Structure 1
Amino acid sequence: MLGSVKAEWDRLRTVVVHRPGIEMFFGLLEPHDALYERAFSRYEARREHEQMEYVLQRELGVTVLRLKEALLDAADRSPEFRKKLVDRAYETVTFSGSREDVAAAKETFYRNADALDSQHFFTLLLMHPLIELGSGGVRLDEAGRQPLANLYFMRDQQVVTPRGLIASRMAKPQRRREPGITKLLWEVLDLPILTEIQSPGTFEGGDFIPMKEFALIGLGNRTDRTGVSQFLAADPGFDEVAIVHQPAHPLLPSDRPDPMITMHLDTYFNVVSSSVVIGSEALLEKANVEVCRRTGSGTYECTSPATNLAAYIREKGFTVIDLSTLEQLSYAPNVLCIRDRTILTVEGERIMKTVLENLAEKASADPHRYESLLSQAMTDYRRIRSEGQFFPHKKEFYQHDIEIYPLKIENLTGGYGGPHCMTAALKRR
């Protein structure tokens, strides 16, 4: 059933992606404020995304739905949906000026709507413009208006459970409007929404990993306690839910943590088969876990943290493939499981070099915070290079009969995510 996922290793049938467009240009004007890790080539990032789509469809047999194209096609086929798209765009635009000028501009907006193509209104949703009437100007202040530069990370605006889709509420203001756009797609696909996370709660899809009888939820910088409580109250269909507390990186000083390094659960842990997971042992051992078990009434009773993620996942019968500090920083955990023992992943060698360069710049500017992390990452790089086992070409994958499909996406990962972050899984079977 479209809109139902029980286990991360079940055969992936349908995903939604968003090929980045003009909104990425505005994100690259100030990468840090746009939640990007570093600057990169927008042209190359778009080309890499097209290649990822090709591999998913042509080589792996996954149905790939593109967000923009699906919405525009629906708007061109259905006058009712096009009106909804126009109305949503109208709500997004802000007019500034005298009362008379604003009223006239709003009337003109609707009068001109029939002459404009549907993509015009989709672009308005992305860009969130401020039109300053009387000055002859349209302002796109990135900090104030926040074009949706992170929309191509399609994992986060929702989670898909055995009982249906749960719409997220994003933690960062730069991303807060994204679920409003993706909800239009769920309407087009006729996907019911089990629940929507409400303010003040936050919940993001990168913090959710379904594991058949149980599920993991990351608790921390992007998903908070109120969001988790609302998720559990929806009775998502798992006998057990493990709440994983976001670990601080042990190589960063306690007074200067960097939550972006472990911002989501899928940045330091993921699934490659029904019996094998990957992750940074150093982080898994620091990630405390509280276990919530489903009662007969459909509610969950939770225990205080009494174990860590490394111990918990092994108790469930999974083998852990350990990742080095540099591999974790280079998006190695952010794999997309296509089917049991088959993964789509980053090609690590080029990304590692770029990550090291970026980390060296950070350490130069703030040695107290990043010097130890850089030192370990450099040690990892020398060892990996001498062994000739750049991720994902690791002996452990071959030992466990894991089939790998590497992607060269060193530009796309500059936005702070890999294949798992860029794909919303709608159907697994």
Structure 2
Amino acid sequence: MSSTERSFGINSEVGRLRSVILHRPGGELRRLTPRNNGALLFDGVPWVERAQAEHDRFARTLLDHGVEVLYVGALLTECLYLPEAREEAIASAAADPRLGQTLGRELRAYLSDLGPERLAAVLVEGLTKEEFGSGGSLRGKLMRGTDFVIEPLPNMMFTRDSSVWIGDAVAVTSLAMPARRRETSLTSVIYRHHHRFADVPKIYDPSLEHLEGGDVLALAPGVLAVGVGERTTPAGVERLARRVFERGTVRTVLAVPIAQRRATMHLDTVCTMVDVDRMVMYAPAENRLDAYTITPGDGEDPAIDGPRSFLDAAAEAIGVERIEIIHTGARDVVTAEREQWDDGNNTLALAPAVAVAYERNTVTNGRLERAGIKTMTIPGSELGSGRGGPRCMSCPIARDPLPIES
């Protein structure tokens, strides 16, 4: 089967991975400084060339295992040859209310003169006043040369968050943090206008309640776990549950409250599936995570039960006696905390019991190997400054389906 003939669909975290969307970091990372990196959600100023080399190693690992790799930049550029896609992308960038009417109009004219490749780069990498020019607006005159007319999107490389596939449909999400909200406008352009996704059902959009892909885990066919915390709201989980129930692709959604802090921003920074019934998890979370079980109700609203232990609720929903836990780091608190911070449990499964992980988390990786999980490691010293691992940096769009349990 050729890459263009591959069907789309995700019904688990661990079915053999066939196709994935990545974003190779570029000029947007060069915009990070000690002055703005915190506002742009990075914990440091990465060495860009090294980050690119690390990302290339990640992509090569996927390609070597038969995974088709699609890049955001290429997909977006192809879309921007289409007049309606160009207009949508330009209008979204120029509509920022902070610009004001005059500067917004000037920016629209500037972007309209760019070719597709340059336009795609500017929309991701950002644009400063110095690069744009002074213009005639009061807003422009009061800006410094290094101020952004279009803010860069350094978190674009975490493609997991702006869209998530559930069954044969895609949810373009609603990102919570101001620094990331424009990412979904570009993701929307790709899914609305690229020929590869023309017939794909869309089940969520950025205008809805906050929901981020890093919080959505396809535990098994028909079963989702969705984190509720810093990035995804209870209303977002409820909206998603209604929509997947309507499509009949999911029978159970587990809403999992997580601590609302930087180290545990998404559910996949706490746990990820590495096999059909095995999970790598930050040890202190094992006995702390609860879940509310959401199922289709008899009336208009879904039924909600709980809370109860997340692991008990997940095992019951999946249909196994128990989920085996492989702890991040070790039982001692310091090692566990260090490797959890360095995304030790943010693994990307390529197939059952086959996963990609950051090489720096040696204790966690050793535990995975001893548990029989084939673990391919990649460098991540620079990529990790944005607090995201292999799962965060990938948006799977096609996996071999796991059998649906009756």
Pick from 401, 408, 419 the counterpart of residue 379 of structure 2: 408
Give the equivalent residue in structure 1 for 2:281.
Answer: 279
Q: What's the offset of the Cα at 1:210?
A: 0.4
What is the CA–CA distance in structure 2 between the aligned matches of 1:19 and 1:246, rounded to whole Å? 29
Are positions 1:31 and 2:37 aligned together?
yes
Give the equivalent residue in structure 1 for 2:403.
Answer: none
Instruction: Answer whether contact 2:88 2:189 (CA < 8 A) is retained.
Output: no
Structure 1 stretches of 4+ with a deviation exceeding 3 A read: 93-99, 101-110, 128-132, 134-140, 197-200, 295-299, 310-316
What is the CA–CA distance in structure 1 between the aligned matches of 2:26 and 2:254, rounded to whole Å? 37
**CA displacement, residues 177-228 of structure 1 (integer Å, 9 cap, x when unaligned):** 1111012222312253432245461000000000223110000110001211
Pick from 5, 11, 23 the counterpart of residue 10 of structure 2: 5
Provide closer, same or farther for how the CA distance between residues 197 and 72 of structure 1 changes in structure 2, counting only shifts above 3 A. closer
Equivalent residue runs for 1:18-417 within 5 Å: 18-29=23-34, 30-57=36-63, 59-75=64-80, 79=81, 81-82=82-83, 84-85=85-86, 88-93=89-94, 110=112, 113=113, 116-126=114-124, 127=126, 131=132, 132-134=134-136, 141=147, 145-186=150-191, 187-188=193-194, 189-191=196-198, 192-197=200-205, 199=207, 201-211=209-219, 212-235=221-244, 237-247=249-259, 259-295=261-297, 300-305=302-307, 307-315=308-316, 316=320, 317-323=322-328, 324-349=336-361, 390-394=363-367, 397-417=368-388
Supply the RMSD in Å over aligned alpha carbons: 2.8
Instruction: Answer whether contact 2:162 2:184 (CA < 8 A) is retained.
Output: yes
2:25 counterpart SS class: coil
**Percent of pairs identical after alignment?**
21
Unaligned 5+ segments in structure 2 are: 1-5, 329-335, 401-406
Q: What's the offset of the Cα at 1:290?
A: 0.6
Instruction: Answer whether contact 1:281 1:310 (CA < 8 A) is retained.
Output: no
Instruction: Answer whether contact 1:92 1:124 (CA < 8 A) is retained.
Output: no
What is the CA–CA distance in structure 2 between the aligned matches of 1:128 and 1:265, rounded to whole Å? 33
Provide closer, same or farther for how the CA distance between residues 231 and 87 of structure 1 changes in structure 2, counting only shifts above 3 A. closer
Structure 1 or 2, whichever has the larger Rg, is 1
What is the CA–CA distance in structure 2 between the aligned matches of 1:179 and 1:103, rounded to whole Å? 22
What is the CA–CA distance in structure 2 between the aligned matches of 1:180 and 1:415, rounded to whole Å? 21
Q: How does the TM-score come out when normalised to structure 2?
A: 0.81
What is the CA–CA distance in structure 2 between the aligned matches of 1:284 and 1:176, rounded to whole Å? 32
Q: How does the TM-score come out when normalised to structure 1?
A: 0.77
One-letter amino acid of the counterpart of residue 118, structure 2 = H
What is the CA–CA distance in structure 1 between the aligned matches of 2:235 and 2:338, rounded to whole Å? 33
Give the equivalent residue in structure 1 for 2:20.
Answer: 15
Provide closer, same or farther for how the CA distance between residues 295 and 331 of structure 1 changes in structure 2, counting only shifts above 3 A. same
What is the CA–CA distance in structure 2 between the aligned matches of 1:415 and 1:50, rounded to whole Å? 17
What is the CA–CA distance in structure 1 between the aligned matches of 2:75 and 2:38, rounded to whole Å? 30
